[in-house]
Amino acid sequence: MADEDFIRIAQELKIVPEIADLPEETLLWLAKNVQEVAYAEGEILIKEGEPVNVFFVVLEGHTQFLRESDAQDLRVWDIEPGEILGKLPYSRMVTYPGTVRAITKSRALIGSAEMFPEMIREAPLLTQRLVSMMTDRVRYVLTENQRQEKMAALGKLSAGLAHELNNPASSAKRSALALSEAIEALRSATASLDGRNLSPDQRSAILSFERQALQHVQAPQLMDSLTRSESEEKILSWLEKKQVRDAWQLAPILAEASLEIPWLESLLDPTGGDIFSDALRRIAWQVSARKLAKEIESSTTRISELVGAIKEYSYMDQTPVQDVDVHQGLENTLVMLRYKLKHGITIEKRFDATAPSVYANGSELNLVWTNLIDNAANAMKDGGKLTIHTTTEKNGVLVEIQDTGPGIPTEIQSKVFDPFFTTKKIGEGTGLGLDTVYRIIHKHHGNIRFESHPGNTRFQVRLPFKQPGS
């Protein structure tokens, strides 16, 4: 390559803001140690998973960094002319975490990592700038990874919460519609009964039976479906013999409230005939209305509890760093992930009631518990036991999360905290969960370790009570 080509490349290197002001001789040295390469539209500059042994200076065109290990390409960032990719001095990156593809016709300069020792000697200022660029890149990637992990966690929680909220909301809606019908039936039965010529004793007896019936609703007896069905059939048969109107509607209500035939006979004695039928209809629909109102109260209370758990889990309207109740955080996380823990997984909680709070970012700790418990649930898809144990230690709290899944294979145990490493199928995981856990715990000056054997995988998280300088 002619000297004028090196001079041209040295001038083009000024497109990189971080090195544009370096001395001409430094840029010329770099120009002599790189190779100019053109790329067609769609051509790959860097392939995900390949060894990192060169660096690229993008001069022209539009390129894009993609992670292809997901079910679909995930665009992480666009790369514009003037950016440097790949290996940089002192970088510990071994393989490329993603693929760089030319979106338009592009041109780049390529340099081998073998030139770094000479660069450190001959161009120390260039080395310093590249190391600074690497630091900024690491900071950006970590921030981006944490954002992706938070979005992934949010997706998991959103799916679970939608399911958890839908059940009580649907139940409340059904009960509200049924309550409207029960009130209308109650109004009709009351009007019919008011048209009867009741004696004072009959009115008193009916009111007394109403109170007794409503007490049954307040203190319901547990009854399996078979027993309830048998009771309903007996009551229906008895009501039909007594020619009670709407017997098919009343029998299920009375059976569920445990108002058996002897009780019905005791109401029949002071009323008798048509009065009994109207009185029983009014009592039954009062019972139904009270029961439906209790169901609405229970459903809305459940929704309120879930909303409260969400607020506590996310530390909404609270300062980011504060004294955090680890047990409350674990409980709220279990609420958030209840949809994943319902089927075949038993939960054992052994909490140290004497454990004091820890000074930490509560929402970040909840992200730790979410990832660890979610991983445990995924490992026990066929059922198992999740054990959460806390212990107070000299300077902090130990949290153990244990599952009875198949365990982590020995050959990959050294990689579980590596960014983008995952054992899940393509599209099922980002490979960022345990990396995020590791970084959050070390940010809080704690530590995490694990032991794993078939049937026993245990993650241990240690957190100090106070942060240095707090």
Q: Kindly list the averaged pLDDT for each block of 10 residues, start to end, along the chain of length 470.
A: 83 90 91 92 88 90 76 63 86 81 92 90 88 76 64 65 79 91 90 83 84 76 76 87 86 84 82 80 89 89 78 64 88 83 88 90 86 90 92 92 91 75 46 74 90 92 82
Contact at 8 Å (CB) between 403 and 376?
yes
Please list the residues that pair with 56 across neighbouring strands: 85, 110
Contact at 8 Å (CB) between 322 and 362?
yes
Phi, psi of 46 (to 5 degrees): -130, 135
CA angle 436, 351, 461 (to 5 degrees): 25
Phi, psi of 397 (to 5 degrees): -120, 140
Counting beta carbons within 10 angstroms of the beta carbon of residue 285, is it exposed (0 to 12), middle (13 to 18) or buried (19 or more)? Answer: buried
Element (H, E) at 400: strand 396-403
Phi, psi of 428 (to 5 degrees): -95, -20
Structure tokens, 246:
């709407």
- Taking the domains of the chain in order of start, what are their residue ranges? 3-122, 159-306, 321-464
CA–CA dist 252, 230 (Å, integer): 10
CA–CA dist 378, 388 (Å, integer): 16
CA–CA dist 453, 410 (Å, integer): 8
Instruction: Please give the single-letter amino acid code of residue 234.
Output: K
Alpha-carbon dihedral 322, 326, 332, 333, rounded to 10 degrees: 110
Residue 3's pLDDT is 78
Q: What does CATH list as the number for 3-122? A: 2.60.120.10
Instruction: Please give the single-letter amino acid code of residue 218.
Output: Q
What is each CA distance from 139 to 16, 74, 146, in whole angstroms? 19, 20, 11
Structure tokens, 207:
């009111």
Strands (E), 217-364: 321-324, 345-350, 358-361
DSSP secondary structure code for residue 414 in this structure = G
Alpha-carbon dihedral 381, 383, 387, 388, rounded to 10 degrees: 40
Contact at 8 Å (CB) between 65 and 79?
yes
Element (H, E) at 75: strand 74-79
CA–CA dist 61, 108 (Å, integer): 9
Closest by CA position to 173, among listed 304, 300, 306, 305: 300
CB neighbours of 164 closer than 8 A, spacing ≥ 6? 306, 335, 338, 339
CA–CA dist 331, 325 (Å, integer): 10
DSSP letters spanning 239-278? HHHTT-TTHHHHHHHHHHTT--HHHHHHHHHHH-HHHHHH
Edge-to-edge strands of the sheet including 54-60? 35-39, 106-112, 54-60, 84-86
Residue 318's pLDDT is 59
CA–CA dist 159, 154 (Å, integer): 9
CA–CA dist 427, 140 (Å, integer): 23
CB neighbours of 131 closer than 8 A, spacing ≥ 6? 88, 89, 90
DSSP 3-state of 384: strand
Instruction: Please give the single-letter amino acid code of residue 174.
Output: R
Token pair 């039965």 is at which residue? 189
CA–CA dist 402, 460 (Å, integer): 9
Instruction: Please give the single-letter amino acid code of residue 352.
Output: D
What is the pTM (predicted TM-score) of this model? 0.51
**Within 13 Å, how many C-alpha atoms sit on residue 230's CB side?**
4
Report the topology of domain 321-464. Answer: Heat Shock Protein 90 (3.30.565)
DSSP 3-state of 353: coil
CA–CA dist 319, 264 (Å, integer): 60
CA–CA dist 145, 387 (Å, integer): 29
